Amino acid sequence: MPSDTIDNLLHESRRFPPDPEFAANAVAGPDLYEDARRDRLAFWANQSRELLHWHKPFTRTLDWSNPPFAKWFNDGELNVAYNCLDRHVLAGNGDRVALHWEGEPGDTRTITYAELTADVKRAANLLTSLGIREGDRVAIYLPMIPEAVVAMLAVARIGAIHSVVFGGFSAESLRSRIDDANAKLVITADGGYRKGSVFPLKPAVDAALADGGTDVRKVLVVRRGGNDVDWVEGRDLWWHEELPQVDADHEAKPFAAEHPLYILYTSGTTGKPKGIVHTSGGYLTQAAYTHKYVFDLHPETDVYWCSADVGWVTGHTYVVYGPLANGATQVLYEGTPEYPKPGRWWELIEKYRVSIFYTAPTAIRSFMKQGRQIPQGRDLSSLRVLGSVGEPINPEAWIWYREVIGGNRTPVVDTWWQTETGAIMISALPGVTTLKPGSAQVPLPGISVDVVSDAGVPVGADEGGLLVITEPWPSMLRGIWGDPERYQETYWSKFGDKYFAGDGARRDKDGDIWLMGRVDDVMNVSGHRLSTAEIESALVAHPFVAEAAVVGASDETTGQAVVAFVIIKRSHRDQAAAVDVNAELRSHVARQIGAIARPRDIYIVEELPKTRSGKIMRRLLRDTAEGRPVGDTTTLADTTVMAIITEKLAGGVASSED
Ligand code: WTA
């Protein structure tokens, strides 16, 4: 966590009690906690019945007879897309705006619930006409355009399973995700806008499919960038040419509550991303519940905006499923905060009168650097709730967010959750909780967490430990696609009956939880999860590289940054010396995985610090990368290695910035 040390955190004493007027109109009240405490399962059953439309009502709430494989609302049936669309139209809200979309160049589209429903119906018919059936996997590789939402909901509507791949990922990353899920269809665009120019997407799909060795038979292409694209006859189809040819009407059939809704790949501690599987009824229940209570949603009047890309879980739950299940009006923005000049986000908040805004600490910290004049030049008075997600928010950023963006009025909710948890797990409730900057505070009503020692014993107040979830929850992952053993091993082998989140945490004397970052080899860069092992394998795949070790070093803006230590093969030293090897390796990683994984710094070293059993001691490399004195080196096979590395780094042989 930048700027604020753990000591500072523990002395953070500012408190923000709920404003009485806000509390009087808040959707959440203290009774929510009492209801959940009284009967947790009845609480979830009631939430689900209240928030969703069940084609066939469920009679059983939770089946946990075969842990860790949970079944929620198992005998019920519903259609997720119907819940996000048709029922709002049938309830008379078809004219309500679902999406205020704004493209980066400034083009806009306003899409009502009736229009979105019509678009999804046609798209569902198109998918069926292309041979997509219940349970088939569809890869979606799109920019932040309305078609991304339409594509996801159309897949859900026919009971197929989407696997959305973030548009910033490389062709190789896309290919490995297509292969792992055996996707039959890819939905992409020619390109999208970013920082003033078109970034092409279709060429990455072409490259991913070039050898023909996948199950993909068709590629649907949305025209967005207007850039030239290559065309594979018989495989590629334009979205805008196909849609008018299919039926406009489509009836949403119900599917079982545990029918898979999507796979979303996320980084773990090994080189291979995990396909996290979410199902329908439980996921949508918790998505809708958290979106309503954590953001104090009043769907008739609020304008909500979550700045996440649909390629990440935050985009799945808080751009698509949560807000649409709740009939919310939201802003969807294609581009970056800085285009055409800093302050674009504040301009959008002013323009659309956004009242609820949800973003990541890394963005807030970069706005802090630019100064408060930029947001202060805009009318942000429509805002009434602010949210944060993705990494710990340091108290200074929290206070700045509340003061400068929230005009010193708005509650700020820091929400802790993961791709695996599917929806928010720990957060304050606006209007109810007295807020504490820097702490995610308490588990939501219906959620049970604890902080335990390595041996699984709950730790005392203010003692550090590991965050665990002690009871199954509706939107929990149902597994890792194609790998039930890895699911058990990763999350359930450490403590048996408790879900191991991989985060360090402490609970203070009031019972509030402070997240302390990952305890495994997963990094958090700008709120995005990256695996050290995945970047190391990308580096050693380069012909120059003999060995590589990657660490996440703390960074003022991005939370953590990727720092790599690399040994060049003897046989390639002359070749490496002839080029800018740092630049070469940095762009190699970007090509292999995607630009988000590009190392901030690369250090060429002669040796890596290893234990006698050959394990790389990343902790020592992190000390060096963060400019701290190197810790205990006595377990190293060669204790001089760190001294040599540190000396070399101090000599300024390092690094590169774009
Ligand atoms: C971290 C993103 C502290 C955490 C929704 C978790 C957080 C990982 C917070 C999941 C928060 C997310 N405070 N840390 N409010 N929110 N994290 O899967 O380390 O991309 O394990 O899901 O992000 O990242 P993921």
Å from CA of 474 to ligand 1 middle: 18
Å from CA of 392 to ligand 1 middle: 8
pLDDT beyond 60 at 71: yes
From 477, 524, 596, the mutation candidate for ligand 1 (largest count of ligand atoms within 8 A of CB) is: 524
- Ligand 1, atom nearest to 427 Cα: 15
Cα 282-44-27 angle, rounded to 5 deg: 105
Q: What pLDDT, on the 0 to 100 scale, is given for residue 6? A: 59
φ, ψ dihedrals at 125, nearest 5°: -65, -35
For ligand 1, atom 6: residue with the closest CA: 418
Dihedral sign for Cα 148, 152, 155, 158, please: negative
User: What proportion of the chain, given as a percentage, has pLDDT over 70?
Assistant: 97
Q: Work out the average pLDDT over 627-635.
A: 85
d(CA 387, CA 374): 20
> 363 in helix, strand or coil?
helix
Q: What pLDDT, on the 0 to 100 scale, is given for residue 298? A: 98
Q: What pLDDT, on the 0 to 100 scale, is given for residue 3? A: 45
Q: Work out the average pLDDT over 234-243.
A: 98
Higher-confidence residue of 630 and 215: namely 215
Spell out the long-range contacts of 650-655 with Cβ–Cβ below 8 A and sequence spacing 24 or more: 653/603, 653/604, 654/601, 654/603, 655/582, 655/600, 655/601, 655/602, 655/603
Q: What pLDDT, on the 0 to 100 scale, is given for residue 657? A: 37
Cα–chain-centroid distance for residue 631? Answer: 33
CA nearest to 315, candidates 170, 429, 419: 419
Q: What pLDDT, on the 0 to 100 scale, is given for residue 651? A: 64
Q: What pLDDT, on the 0 to 100 scale, is given for residue 1? A: 46
> For the purposes of burial, counting CB atoms within 10 Å of the CB of 202, is it exposed (0-12), middle (13-18) or buried (19 or more)?
buried
d(CA 416, CA 421): 10
Structure tokens, 307: 């700045």
d(CA 282, CA 261): 11
Q: What pLDDT, on the 0 to 100 scale, is given for residue 175? A: 97
Q: What pLDDT, on the 0 to 100 scale, is given for residue 653? A: 44
For ligand 1, atom 14: residue with the closest CA: 391
φ, ψ dihedrals at 107, nearest 5°: -70, 150
What are the pLDDT digits (tens) for 74-111?
Answer: 999 999 999 999 999 999 999 999 999 999 999 999 99
Å from CA of 584 to ligand 1 middle: 31
Q: Which residues pair with 441 in a beta bridge?
A: 513
Residue 656 binned pLDDT confidence (cut-offs 50, 70, 90): very low
Contacts of 627 (CB under 8 A, 6+ apart): none
- Ligand 1, atom nearest to 522 Cα: 19
Residue 2 binned pLDDT confidence (cut-offs 50, 70, 90): very low
Å from CA of 390 to ligand 1 middle: 4
Spatial contact of 243 and 115, defined as CB atoms under 8 Å apart: no
d(CA 311, CA 276): 13
Mean pLDDT of the chain: 94
Cα 376-372-389 angle, rounded to 5 deg: 100
Å from CA of 280 to ligand 1 middle: 22
Q: What pLDDT, on the 0 to 100 scale, is given for residue 387? A: 98
From 1, 503, 520, 554, the mutation candidate for ligand 1 (largest count of ligand atoms within 8 A of CB) is: 503
> For the purposes of burial, counting CB atoms within 10 Å of the CB of 630, is it exposed (0-12), middle (13-18) or buried (19 or more)?
middle
Å from CA of 527 to ligand 1 middle: 7
Q: What pLDDT, on the 0 to 100 scale, is given for residue 9? A: 66
From 416, 435, 530, the mutation candidate for ligand 1 (largest count of ligand atoms within 8 A of CB) is: 416
Report residues whose beta carbon is within 6 angstroms of any ligand 1 atom. 266, 312-314, 389-392, 414-419, 440, 501-503, 515, 518, 524, 529
pLDDT beyond 90 at 396: yes
Å from CA of 180 to ligand 1 middle: 24
Structure tokens, 405: 């963006």
What are the pLDDT digits (tens) for 41-58?
Answer: 999 999 999 999 999 999
CA nearest to 147, candidates 174, 92, 187, 180: 187
> 609 in helix, strand or coil?
coil
Å from CA of 276 to ligand 1 middle: 15
Q: What pLDDT, on the 0 to 100 scale, is given for residue 640? A: 86
What are the pLDDT digits (tens) for 335-356?
Answer: 999 999 999 999 999 999 999 9
What are the pLDDT digits (tens) for 432-452?
Answer: 999 999 999 999 999 999 999
For ligand 1, atom 25: residue with the closest CA: 418
What are the pLDDT digits (tens) for 542-590?
Answer: 999 999 999 999 999 999 999 999 999 999 999 999 999 999 999 999 9
Q: Work out the average pLDDT over 137-146.
A: 98
Q: Tell me the C-alpha to C-alpha distance, in Å, between residue 484 and each of 471, 481, 488.
A: 19, 7, 6
From 166, 393, 418, 480, the mutation candidate for ligand 1 (largest count of ligand atoms within 8 A of CB) is: 418
- Ligand 1, atom nearest to 517 Cα: 19
Q: What pLDDT, on the 0 to 100 scale, is given for residue 268? A: 83
- Ligand 1, atom nearest to 420 Cα: 18
Å from CA of 520 to ligand 1 middle: 13
- Ligand 1, atom nearest to 419 Cα: 18
Å from CA of 245 to ligand 1 middle: 43
Residue 649 binned pLDDT confidence (cut-offs 50, 70, 90): confident
Q: What pLDDT, on the 0 to 100 scale, is given for residue 514? A: 96
Å from CA of 605 to ligand 1 middle: 32
Instruction: Enter the DSSP assignment of 88.
Output: H
What are the pLDDT digits (tens) for 102-117?
Answer: 999 999 999 999 999 9
For ligand 1, atom 5: residue with the closest CA: 418
For ligand 1, atom 4: residue with the closest CA: 391
For ligand 1, atom 23: residue with the closest CA: 390
Helix axes 641-650, 618-625, angle to 10 degrees: 20
Residue 658 binned pLDDT confidence (cut-offs 50, 70, 90): very low
Residue 655 binned pLDDT confidence (cut-offs 50, 70, 90): very low
Å from CA of 517 to ligand 1 middle: 8
For ligand 1, atom 13: residue with the closest CA: 392
- Ligand 1, atom nearest to 529 Cα: 20
Q: Work out the average pLDDT over 137-148.
A: 98
Å from CA of 564 to ligand 1 middle: 23
Q: Work out the average pLDDT over 210-220.
A: 97
**Which of 295-304, 372-381, 598-607, 640-649 shows the lowest mean pLDDT across its residues?**
640-649
Å from CA of 136 to ligand 1 middle: 29
For ligand 1, atom 1: residue with the closest CA: 391
pLDDT beyond 70 at 8: no
